[in-house]
């Protein structure tokens, strides 16, 4: 629903405005946060282009956006933007095809400015929570005496520290930023595209304007890194910081979605027997690599659910009339793996799959959203980083938390991973003594994460602290 600016009348002394980046892993994190805040009694306004608001609502898992009366969506107009297909052959796996979408978001600035002006005239305080790459929202908030902005960081704190450490020339002993015994390699090189770096640099000009920072993480997994972050003279910047994750629901009743084929299939499998394979919504894999994955999974002799779909376009609802890529599997493959593997070619309920007792592993690109979902459910990860913060998250998961194995080291990112290497990683995670220890550790971490969001847990306490702060008299 498009709410016109002049119609906004708020009875609450504090209102919250969410400004997400229009990519699935960013849209859903701020929408989950919207739920948490709105259910505590504060009105929340989630703003964006109509197509991205529609996407966020249609793909949310664990709750229904229509059931929360004080969560409102505002469809702002943006001009048409090109909507290119992803390039599965690209050696740099960063989703450069989404750059036109990100560029179009600058047109949200004018309607956001008008909306904030109206809100500021009708309430005591306007709180803007924006994605780190939508920091123009912080400048718009700065124009109003009763508005303040907070930056939401959608990556791990470890990734933030690791890449800052790299920018300092990787000083010995981790430079008081990361553990000194880290052996894994991550780098900005090939993580991002030049166009995206330009976007990031433009966004960073406003990064001193937010008065605080929010992180989708929690003390059980990144408490020590949060302390390092807040104490660092450059990174901390004397701002308040809150670790409030995981934002996704952590208690799932799979009985509520018995109709989905994935859940029905999982119901017939043994506990911890299935590895779930998905590389997120922004990664496009080459035909050659898909063949290797297919044979690797088959030869592993482990049960699996494989989400085999191309990366999202910037507008997932446009371009339906165009000829879409049809991802082919080897001849006879689906017949051979029938009963052992399930191929899913459309949207899959990832949270519910990870929450299911039959799921015992997750082969993942290690996007932070997927990491948090998997770890919160106690599911260990076979890490296969593709771009962005994912190489850093791989190190955090495999070396620091010891909740996963590595399928492909980042230094080999331009190489096709062989079926043999994939088979080895799957067997190691799902059918070895080492895998049992990793699963035990992941289960312990999952329990600790779920406790963090329980009553009086660390994340619940920090969210309460944030809400008290923004509701101060």
- Where in the sequence numbering do the catalytic residues fall? 26, 131
Cβ within 8 Å of residue 278, ≥6 positions away: 306, 307, 348, 350, 362, 363, 364, 370
Residue written as tokens 């790459």? 133
C-alpha pair distances (Å), 381 with each of 117, 378, 464: 45, 10, 31
Q: Tokens 């096709």, residue?
A: 416
User: Which residues, 6 or more positions from 263, have their beta carbon under 8 angstroms from its beta carbon?
Assistant: 254, 257, 349, 352, 353, 356
DSSP 95: -
Per-residue tokens: 117: 């002006």
Under DSSP, the state recorded for 85 is P
Q: Closest Cα to residue 106, out of 206, 186, 33? A: 206
In 3D, which of 177, 159, 164 has the Cα closest to residue 228?
177
Residue 214 phi/psi, 5-degree rounding, is -115, 140
Report how far residue 449's alpha carbon sits from residue 350's, in angstroms, rounded to the nearest whole number: 18
DSSP 265: H
């Amino acid at each position: 629903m498009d709410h016109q600016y002049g119609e906004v009348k708020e009875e609450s002394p504090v209102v919250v405005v969410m400004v997400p980046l229009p990519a699935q892993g960013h849209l859903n994190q701020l929408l989950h946060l919207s739920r948490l805040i709105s259910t505590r009694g504060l009105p929340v306004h989630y703003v964006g282009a109509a197509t991205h608001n529609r996407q966020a609502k249609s793909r949310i898992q664990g709750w229904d956006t229509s059931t929360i009366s004080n969560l409102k969506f505002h469809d702002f107009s943006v001009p048409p933007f090109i909507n290119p297909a992803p390039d599965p052959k690209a050696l740099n796996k960063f989703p450069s095809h989404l750059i036109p979408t990100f560029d179009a978001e600058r047109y949200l600035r004018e309607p956001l400015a008008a909306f904030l002006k109206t809100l500021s005239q009708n309430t005591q305080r306007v709180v803007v929570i924006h994605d780190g790459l939508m920091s123009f929202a912080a400048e718009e908030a700065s124009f109003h005496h009763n508005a303040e902005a907070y930056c939401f960081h959608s990556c791990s704190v470890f990734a933030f520290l690791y890449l800052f450490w790299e920018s300092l020339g990787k000083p010995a002993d981790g430079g008081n930023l990361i553990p000194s015994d880290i052996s894994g390699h991550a780098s900005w090189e090939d993580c991002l595209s030049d166009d995206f770096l330009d976007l990031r640099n433009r966004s960073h000009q406003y990064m001193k304007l937010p008065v605080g920072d929010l992180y989708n993480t929690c003390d059980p997994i990144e408490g020590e890194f949060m302390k390092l972050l807040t104490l660092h003279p450059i990174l901390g910047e004397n701002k308040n910081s809150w670790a409030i994750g995981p934002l996704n629901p952590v208690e799932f009743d799979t009985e509520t979605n018995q109709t989905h084929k994935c859940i029905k299939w999982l119901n017939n499998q043994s506990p911890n027997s299935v590895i779930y394979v998905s590389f997120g919504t922004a990664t496009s894999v080459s035909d050659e690599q898909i063949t290797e994955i297919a044979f690797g999974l088959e030869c592993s002799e482990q049960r699996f659910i494989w989400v085999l779909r191309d990366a999202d376009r910037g507008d997932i609802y446009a371009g339906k009339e165009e000829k879409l890529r049809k991802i082919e599997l080897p001849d006879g493959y689906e017949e051979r793996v029938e009963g052992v593997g399930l191929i899913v070619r459309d949207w899959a309920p990832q949270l519910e799959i990870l929450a299911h007792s039959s799921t015992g592993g997750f082969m993942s690109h290690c996007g932070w959203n997927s990491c948090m979902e998997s770890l919160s459910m106690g599911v260990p990860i076979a890490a296969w980083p593709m771009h962005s913060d994912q190489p850093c998250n791989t190190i955090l998961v495999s070396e620091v938390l010891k909740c996963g194995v590595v399928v492909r080291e980042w230094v080999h990112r331009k190489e096709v991973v062989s079926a043999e290497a994939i088979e080895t990683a799957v067997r190691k995670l799902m059918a070895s003594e080492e895998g049992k220890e990793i699963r035990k550790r992941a289960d312990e971490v999952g329990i600790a994460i779920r406790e963090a969001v329980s009553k009086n847990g660390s994340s619940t306490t920090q969210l309460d602290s944030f809400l008290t702060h923004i509701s101060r008299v």
